[in-house]
Amino acid sequence: MIGIFDSGVGGISVWKELHGLMPNQDFVYVADSAYCPYGRKSADEIIERAKKISEFLIKKNADIIVVACNTATAAAIKYLRLHFPVPFVGMEPAIKPAAIESKSGIVGVLATAGTFKGSLYLNTLTKFASNIKVIEQTGDGLVELVESGKICEHEVELLLKKYINPIIDAGADKLVLGCTHYPFLVEAIKKVANNALTIINPAPAVALQTQKIINDNNIMSTKNSGTNIFISTGNIETLKMLVNKINHSVNEHNFAVQNI
Ligand code: DGL
């Protein structure tokens, strides 16, 4: 079984890629919506949540856990790898492909404050961004909008304009989505950016990396069709709405609210 978790519903954008690549695998997804957002929480608070959710997923027989949250990866992945016996896959800020593909040599990154503070992000910058200019923008408020199911409202566009216009004005031609909630805003981002930016979502690369680890560790399911379970620690309505948008065949019974 592949365990996945995020501070909320955002990691569903990663589940979409994982499930698309490995439809026969079993997945258990935990949205920590009761504790969302993680973006401005301390690293210790995030580690505490990541620890509890990982324990829960391992009790449910997870063979591997995907931390489908950039902020939780930044704060907790080292701890998780050290304290639990299963492999963990985290979200990598996609600076490398953006740097390679950028023609203007200027790249925008939209992420949470927690992600920008993490050593993972700083290491990625040192490794891949020495020849480009990176414009960092925190997306305050966007996670909350996605959590409440607002993905294309006027409110979303207004906030996106505030964040994206300065990136465009600075001459960027690529926008790295450094938070797993943001792929749900792609249509609104495209509308605001009006072709000025190519959007880079790291989720497909993370799904490929997960598949590689699964193959290397021989934990590929041999069943014909996998089961997908979705658990929320808080409000489950947006989780249902986003999953159903991606896959209509998920049964109502596969959703549950649980205290973790
Ligand atoms: N999806 C999380 C991420 O990728 C959102 C963080 C938050 O809850 O603020 O960073």
Backbone angles phi, psi at 68, to 5 degrees: -85, 45
Residue 92 is given by DSSP the state P
**pLDDT computed for residue 157 by the predictor:** 96
Nearest atom of ligand 1 to the alpha carbon of 71: 10
Assess whether the C-beta atom of 36 lies below 6 angstroms from ligand 1: yes
How many Å from the N-terminal Cα to the C-terminal Cα in the chain? 19
Q: Which CATH class is domain 95-201?
A: alpha beta
**pLDDT computed for residue 220 by the predictor:** 74
Neighbours of 142 (CB within 10 A): 27
**pLDDT computed for residue 249 by the predictor:** 84
Residue with CA closest to ligand 1 atom 9: 39
Intervals of CATH 3.40.50.1860 along the chain: 2-91+204-257, 95-201
**pLDDT computed for residue 224 by the predictor:** 61
**pLDDT computed for residue 207 by the predictor:** 97
Assess whether the C-beta atom of 211 lies below 6 angstroms from ligand 1: no
Q: Check: CB of residue 69 under 8 Å from CB of residue 202.
A: no
The 3-class secondary structure across 39-87, one letter per residue, is: CCCCHHHHHHHHHHHHHHHHHCCCCEEEECCHHHHHHHHHHHHHHCCCC
Tens-digit pLDDT string for the chain (260 aa)? 999 999 999 999 999 999 999 999 999 999 999 999 999 899 999 999 999 999 999 999 999 999 999 999 999 999 999 999 999 999 988 999 999 999 999 999 999 999 999 999 999 999 999 999 999 999 999 999 999 999 988 999 999 999 999 999 999 999 999 999 999 999 999 999 999 999 999 999 999 999 999 999 888 777 767 899 999 999 999 999 999 999 888 899 999 999 99
Backbone angles phi, psi at 242, to 5 degrees: -70, -40
Nearest atom of ligand 1 to the alpha carbon of 68: 4
Q: Which CATH class is domain 2-91+204-257?
A: alpha beta
Q: What's the CA gap between 118 and 120, in Å, rounded?
A: 5
Q: What's the CA gap between 176 and 190, in Å, rounded?
A: 13
Which of 71, 117, 176, 182 most suits a substitution to test ligand 1, by most atoms within 8 Å of the C-beta? 71
